[in-house]
């Protein structure tokens, strides 16, 4: 039992935590890129860009309407 705890702790520390940090960094860079690119695009090209982001990265990009919906979920990016 003690050996299993040590092994699971090592696996978590050396593989799962770095993998999670890397995935989070990649997701945030895609979101930042999308926001910067969105502002640069003309209005007629934004719809195509939003579709590409949805297909390639499963990321919904929309126009800011100034009103934020009340979200009851504590999970990010949903």
Within a domain: residue 53? yes
Note down the domain range covering 19. Answer: 14-57
Domains contained in the chain, number: 1
Within a domain: residue 25? yes
Within a domain: residue 6? no
Q: How far is CA 7 from CA 2, 17, 18, 19, 55, in A?
A: 9, 15, 16, 17, 39
- Which pLDDT tens digit goes with each residue over 15-65? 877 777 766 777 888 888 898 998 899 989 999 999 999 999 888 888 777
Within a domain: residue 78? no
In three-state secondary structure terms, 3 is helix
pTM value is 0.54
Within a domain: residue 42? yes
């Amino acid at each position: 039992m003690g050996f299993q705890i040590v092994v699971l702790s090592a696996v978590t520390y050396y593989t799962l935590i770095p993998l999670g940090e890397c995935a989070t960094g990649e997701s945030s860079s895609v979101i930042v890129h999308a926001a910067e690119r969105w502002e640069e695009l003309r209005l007629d090209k934004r719809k195509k860009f939003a579709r590409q982001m949805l297909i390639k990265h499963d990321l919904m990009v929309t126009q800011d309407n100034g009103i934020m919906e009340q979200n009851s979920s504590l999970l990010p990016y949903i």
